[in-house]
Amino acid sequence: MTDETAGLPAGLAGCGFMFDVDGTLLLSDRSLGGYEVLPGAIEVLSTLKERGIPYVVLTNGSAYPPAEQAAKLRRIGLAVEDRQMLTPSSVTADYMVRKGIKRVLVLGIRGVGHALAEAGITTLYPGEPGASQVDAVYVGWFPDCAMRDIEAGCHAVWNGAKLYVASDVPFFATREGRTIGYSFTIVGAIRRLTHARAILTGKPSLHALRFVARKLGVPMQKVVVVGDDPRVETQMALRGGASSFAVATGTTSREQWLAQPPKLRPHRVLNGIGEILTLL
C-alpha cells in the first residue's frame, strides 16, 4: 500500500467532508471533557468554511445533543455549526421516524434520547411507566448502567421491541489511551440474554453514511470520510463507495494503517488532519 490517492474524485471537486471527532479532531479524557485539539484541526475546518466546501462532523459519541456538542467544539476553536454536528442519535431519530417507530426505551443518559424526543418520538427510561411496552430499545452512552437497566432492556425486547445501538465500537481514543465503549458492552449483555439482532445506527453503518450524504447534499460516492479507526470510518466509507482518509492520531498508528488488509485499506494515510490543507 502507498499513501497516494486511489480512486478519489479528481481534485476533490464536488465532494463534501465528514470528520470523526475523537482521535481525529481532538482527544478528550475518559469522562469526555478536557478537550485537547489536535494539530491542524482548527485550520482545516476554517479553510473549508472559508472556501464554501461542505463538511459535517459525525461522532459515535451519543452523550450530548448535537447543538450542545457543537457549542463545546466551538469553544475550543473548531468551526462547527449546530447543523453540522451529527451524532448516532441524529441518525437514529431520522431512521426511526422513517420506520414509523413511536415509543422507545432509551438506555443512556438524558442526552442520548434528546434527538429522538425532538423528532416527536416518545422516549422512556428504565423505571418509568410503560418502559417495557415500546417499539424499540436504543442503547447509547450510559457509564452508570446497572443490572436493572439491562433487565429493563431485555424485558422490552422479549415483549417485541427491536434493539438499536448508537455505537458498536469496543474502544475509542482518549488522552489516556483506549477507553471502552459503553453501548458496545451493554448491547453485548442484552444480546447474550435475548439473542436479538442489534441494529447499528452510528458508524460504520450505511444508515450513518446515507444520513451524512443527505446533510452534505452530495452522493455517497462524493463523501470524503476522515477518521482514525479502520473498522469504523474506513469500513463505512469503503462499504458505501465513499473516499477514506485515515489519520494516525487516534486508535491506529501509521504502521498499523499501512498493514491493513485490502477491505480496510484507506485511500490515503495522513499523519494528522492538518495534511488535508495540502490537498485543497
pLDDT at 129: 96
Local confidence band at 49 (pLDDT 50, 70, 90 cut-offs):
very high
- Rounded Cα distance between 184 and 207, Å, is 18
CA 236 to chain CA centroid, nearest Å: 11
- Rounded Cα distance between 28 and 215, Å, is 26
Tell me the domains of the chain and their CATH numbers.
Answer: 10-87+204-279 (3.40.50.1000), 89-200 (3.40.50.1000)
pLDDT at 21: 95
Give the residue-averaged pLDDT of 24-39. Answer: 83
The model's pTM: 0.89
The DSSP symbol for 256 reads: H
- Rounded Cα distance between 161 and 155, Å, is 9
Strand segments, DSSP code E, in 130-260 are 136-139, 162-165, 171-174, 177-180, 198-200, 223-227, 243-247
- Asked if the model's pLDDT at residue 4 lies above 60, the reply is no
Query: What tens digit of pLDDT does each residue of 205-249 get?
Result: 999 999 999 999 999 999 999 999 999 999 999 999 999 999 999
Q: How many degrees, rounded to 5, is the angle at CA 145 between CA 141 and CA 149?
A: 115
Query: What tens digit of pLDDT does each residue of 96-108 get?
Result: 999 999 999 999 9
Local confidence band at 32 (pLDDT 50, 70, 90 cut-offs):
low
Tell me the one-letter amino acid at 16: G
pLDDT at 179: 75
pLDDT at 174: 67
pLDDT at 184: 93
pLDDT at 13: 81
Query: What tens digit of pLDDT does each residue of 172-204 get?
Result: 666 666 777 889 999 999 999 999 999 999 999
Give the residue-averaged pLDDT of 47-72. Answer: 95
pLDDT cut 90: percent of the chain above it? 84
Query: What tens digit of pLDDT does each residue of 256-279 get?
Result: 999 999 999 999 999 999 999 998
Give the residue-averaged pLDDT of 140-148. Answer: 95
Looking at every residue in the chain, the average pLDDT score rounds to 92
Local confidence band at 8 (pLDDT 50, 70, 90 cut-offs):
very low
- Asked if the model's pLDDT at residue 11 lies above 90, the reply is no
163-200 in b/e burial notation, b at 16+ Cβ within 10 A?
A: bbbbbbbeebbbeeeebebbbbebbebbbeebebebbb
61: CB partners within 8 A, 6+ apart: 21, 22, 32, 69, 87, 141, 167, 172
- Asked if the model's pLDDT at residue 47 lies above 50, the reply is yes
- Rounded Cα distance between 202 and 239, Å, is 14
- Rounded Cα distance between 197 and 194, Å, is 9
Local confidence band at 54 (pLDDT 50, 70, 90 cut-offs):
very high
